Amino acid sequence: MVNGDGVSGQDPAADGRRQGPIAGTPVGSAVDRVSPQLRRIERKLRREVTRLAAVPFEQFPPRDAVRMAYNVLLRRDPDEPSWSEKAAAVASGAMSRSDVVDGIHCSDEFRFRVPVGPASLLNSLHASRCEFIVGLPPARHIVDLGGGHSSDARGALVLLGYPYDFEELVVVDLPPDDRHPLYRSDRFGPGDYDQGKVRYEYRSMADLSFAMDASVDLIYSGQSIEHVTEADADLVLKESFRILVPGGHMAIDTPNARVCRLQQSSFIDPDHKIEYTVDQLRDKVTAAGFEVVTERGLNWGGPGVARGELDVAALAANYGVYFDAEACYLLALVIRKPG
Considering the domain architecture, whether residues 137 and 108 belong to the same structural domain is answered as no
3, part of any domain: no
In this prediction, residue 174 has a pLDDT band, given cuts at 50, 70 and 90, of confident
Considering the domain architecture, whether residues 103 and 144 belong to the same structural domain is answered as no
For Cα atoms 120, 125, 131, give the angle at the middle one, nearest 5 degrees: 130
Mean pLDDT of 260-278: 94
Asked which of 112, 144, 165 is the last residue of a domain, the reply is 112
Closest CA to 160 of 127, 182, 191: 127
**Is this structure's pTM higher than 0.85?**
no
Mean pLDDT of 117-139: 98
237, part of any domain: yes
In this prediction, residue 3 has a pLDDT band, given cuts at 50, 70 and 90, of very low
Average pLDDT, the chain: 89
pLDDT digits (tens, 9 = 90+) for 6-45: 333 344 344 444 444 445 555 455 545 556 777 777 776 6
Considering the domain architecture, whether residues 188 and 326 belong to the same structural domain is answered as yes
How many structural domains is the chain composed of?
2
State the residue range of the domain holding 73.
27-112
Considering the domain architecture, whether residues 104 and 219 belong to the same structural domain is answered as no
Mean pLDDT of 63-73: 96
Angle between helices 97-105 and 62-73 (to 10 degrees): 20
- Burial zone of 2 (CB within 10 Å; 0-12 exposed, 13-18 middle, 19+ buried): exposed
9, part of any domain: no
Asked which of 64, 81, 112 is the last residue of a domain, the reply is 112
- Would you state the pLDDT for residue 148? 87
> 67 or 175: which carries more pLDDT confidence?
67
Asked which of 75, 96, 112 is the last residue of a domain, the reply is 112
Mean pLDDT of 314-334: 98
> 1 or 313: which carries more pLDDT confidence?
313
- Would you state the pLDDT for residue 33? 57
Q: Is the peptide bond before 62 cis (omega within 30 degrees of 0)?
A: no
pLDDT digits (tens, 9 = 90+) for 210-247: 999 999 999 999 999 999 999 999 999 999 999 999 99
- Would you state the pLDDT for residue 43? 76
Considering the domain architecture, whether residues 188 and 54 belong to the same structural domain is answered as no
Considering the domain architecture, whether residues 180 and 285 belong to the same structural domain is answered as yes
pLDDT digits (tens, 9 = 90+) for 178-219: 766 666 666 788 899 999 999 999 999 999 999 999 999 999
> 134 or 48: which carries more pLDDT confidence?
134
Secondary structure (3-state) at 24 = coil
- Would you state the pLDDT for residue 184? 62
Task: Indicate whether 2 pLDDT > 80.
Answer: no
- Would you state the pLDDT for residue 150? 76
Residue 299 neighbours by CB under 8 Å, 6+ apart:
121, 124, 125, 128, 315, 316, 318, 319, 320, 322, 328, 329, 330
Considering the domain architecture, whether residues 215 and 269 belong to the same structural domain is answered as yes
Considering the domain architecture, whether residues 67 and 202 belong to the same structural domain is answered as no
Considering the domain architecture, whether residues 238 and 267 belong to the same structural domain is answered as yes
> 13 or 63: which carries more pLDDT confidence?
63
Considering the domain architecture, whether residues 101 and 187 belong to the same structural domain is answered as no
10, part of any domain: no
For Cα atoms 51, 53, 58, give the angle at the middle one, nearest 5 degrees: 95
- Burial zone of 66 (CB within 10 Å; 0-12 exposed, 13-18 middle, 19+ buried): buried
13, part of any domain: no
21, part of any domain: no
> 11 or 259: which carries more pLDDT confidence?
259
Can you give the CATH number for the domain in which 160 is found? 3.40.50.150
Considering the domain architecture, whether residues 234 and 307 belong to the same structural domain is answered as yes
Give the separation between CA 91 and CA 85, rounded to whole angstroms.
10
215, part of any domain: yes
